[in-house]
Amino acid sequence: MKPSLFGKSLAAITLLLSFSAFAKVQTGFVKNVVEDDEGIKVILSKSSSAIKEIETVYLINTDADFRESRDLIMKAKAENSKVQISQGDVKVGP
Amino acid sequence: MKASRHLLVVCSFLTIFATASAQDMNTSVLQQSVTNLLIEAQKQGLVPSKYAKSEAALTGLINGGRVPEALKQAADLITRISYDFASGQVKADQLKRNYMVPTKKITASQTAAISQYVNGQITAADLIQVMQPKNEYYNSLVSLLQRFQQAVDSGQLVTAPAKLNTVKAGAKDTASILYARARLALLGYDNDQTNPAVTSDLTESIIEFQADHNLTADGALGAASWSVLDQDVRAVITKIRLNIDRTRWLPDSLGANHVFVNLAEQQLKLVLNSQVSMNFKTINGRLDRQTPILFDSMSHLQLNPTWTVPQSILFKDKLPLILQNPGKVLDMNMKVIDDVTGTVVDPYSVDWTQVNETFSPYTLVQSPGPHNALGFVKFPLTNPYAIYLHDTDSRHLFANADRLLSSGCVRLEKPFEFAAQILNNVQWTAESLRAASEFLVPTATASTRVKFGRSIPVYLFYLTTSVNANGKIVFSKDSYKIDSEMYGMFAR
């Protein structure tokens, strides 16, 4: 992740990060992040306002880009931005 | 900042020499200044071969009569050697791991000293003195290196006999006995090196050596003990150099109060008011969940912590049981939290057959108690990797010689005594902490937080060769293969 990729609005950002655990693309708004000793579980909802079609994604804290990924997801949660997570990349945006 | 200081040094160097004509320039002085610096730095563990290509390039420029480029190359090289000497030839972030080690900053006085050296105003020894790390681990390892190097250079190392026999009371193999005495003395275990018999001084040294190295301390030097004691001295020197390089990452002062965990040795040292307050065993991350090297801090403890069950354990161990009987959750003193609402839900109300890796909106949280995986006390740190120090409900594991068993956190052998020392034994003692946690268990719904009133630096570090509190050398296994990885980087 390169800090220079951050724009004025998070909605306009696309960041590429590396996750190795999940091949399936999962998209949604970050409703919660639960931390345990081995990583974080991200609770995604299809709707920004309602809790709908919940999915979960787990990010392992020994992955190379974990710290940057975690920061990005926490920011998306705070800003109620949509994220897309799949093997090899995370995209944040509309 | 680093780049601009580097540029400053280069510019300063070029300015000085620009006043002389290129033809007047004695290029041998250039090379000599680099060589002298490497000779001095090597005495403190720097590996000169890492600069061989740059040195060759410098020689090429000089031989080709390209004096201005040679000047720049020399200044660059001197700066690079100086920076590496101060902050590490290999940096933590170059290793293939998640490390949280701040890059060491080069001070203004160090930058000035580099300029002075390239200008010929100070000697290589002067520059080394300014650049050298000042922390105690660095100093002790450099002394060790010099002791071993001197032993090699003197040519007086006792050669190992063709066969190493067990050395214990009553043993008769004088060659093995004299060799054992010499090797123990080299590691700091004093004994009469001229005595060809096994006497009490030797037995005591063997026992101390064995205890320091997690070997059976029976005073009999057998195969297991020989494998540690009879290491090739040149390999030991290489190992010391690798460890010295890591100590360059440490700050000059670790703080009058700090916690130092040597992950390789699986030991914790608590330093209070610049004195070692206590040492005890730790359990660290297993090989596939290695505890990272990191510099962090702690400012409070939690009595009766809850434990959030990691997802891997949920799917591997807990879910199969819960699918058979959701009541198992209660048997394990756990609660089910709905991750969306944050509320506790009845385990019988959840359709566990729907729970999988992409749909797992429930978290199992273990309540405080004697069977909590974190034990009775947790010492949170600030890092993003969920690495912290804690008690354990499996204290029997501290009896193991090899204790790489955790998911990355550091389990403490003496958590209550550790907490009481940090809390000055005033408001809390080990006994009152223990009593408070046990008293709270039946009714505890939330853990109790006790602030230290100060932030204590915590260093999770990795030294496979170290000097213990008694001045003896302790070798630890390179379980995490960090020495191997760094060695590979020096070879490149």
Residue B157 has pLDDT above 90, yes or no: no
Find chain A residues with C-beta within 8 A of B293's C-beta: none
Distances (CA, A) of B449 to A35, B322, B379, B399, B453: 19, 32, 10, 30, 12
- Residue A58 and residue B407: Cβ atoms within 8 Å? no
Please report the pLDDT score of residue A11 as a whole number: 36
* Contact with chain B for residue A53, Cβ under 8 A: no
Inter-chain touch A61–B385, beta carbons under 8 Å: yes
A64 to chain B, any CB pair closer than 8 A? The answer is yes
pLDDT at A13: 35
Q: Per-residue pLDDT averaged across B261-285, rounded?
A: 95
Q: Which residues of chain B are within 8 Å of residue A55 when distances are taken between CB atoms?
A: 358-359
- pLDDT at position B100, please? 85
Query: What pLDDT score was predicted for residue A45?
Result: 92
* Structure-model confidence comparison of residues B448 and B93, the more confident one: B93
Q: Which of A38, A70, A71 sits opposite B311 (nearest CB)?
A: A38
3 state SS of B106: coil
Distances (CA, A) of B30 to B6, B17, B18, B85, B450: 18, 11, 14, 19, 60
User: Taking all residues of chain B, what is their mean pLDDT, rounded to a whole number?
Assistant: 88
Mean pLDDT of B232-260: 95
pLDDT for B23 beyond 70: no
What's the CA gap between B413 and B432, in Å, rounded? 18
- Chain B closest CA to A11's CA: distance in Å? 23
Complex ipTM:
0.73
Single-letter amino acid code for the residue at B305: P
Report the relative pairing of strands B334-338 and B307-308 from DSSP bridges. Answer: unpaired
Whole-number Å distance between alpha carbons of B397 and B284? 11
The torsion angle over the Cα atoms of residues B470, B471, B477 and B479, rounded to 10 degrees, is: 80
Listed in sequence order, the residues at least 6 apart from B169 whose beta carbon sits closer than 8 Å to its beta carbon are B198, B203, B219
Q: B74-112, pLDDT tens digit by residue?
A: 999 999 999 999 999 999 988 877 788 988 999 999 999
Q: For the whole model, what pTM was predicted?
A: 0.84
By the 8 A CB rule, do B386 and B401 touch?
A: no
In chain A, residues with a C-beta closer than 8 Å to the C-beta of B308 are 34-37
- Closest chain B residue to the Cα of A43, Cα to Cα: B361
| Axis crossing angle, helix B108-118 with helix B27-42, rounded to the nearest 10 | 140
A6 touches chain B (CB under 8 A): no
User: What chain A residue is nearest to B314 in terms of C-alpha separation?
Assistant: A36
Chain B touched by A56 (CB under 8 Å): yes
Is there a contact between A39 and B310 if contact means CB atoms under 8 Å apart? yes
DSSP B234: H
Task: Indicate the SS3 state at residue B441.
Answer: coil
Are B409 and A54 inside 8 Å of each other by CB?
A: no
The phi and psi torsions of B192 (rounded to 5 degrees) equal -80, 105
pLDDT band at B30, cuts 50/70/90? Answer: confident
Chain B 3-42, residues with CB within 8 Å of chain A CB atoms? none
Reported confidence tier of residue B26, pLDDT bands at 50, 70, 90: low
Whether A43 and B407 lie within 8 Å, measured CB to CB: no
Q: Is B351 on the interface with A (CB under 8 A)?
A: no
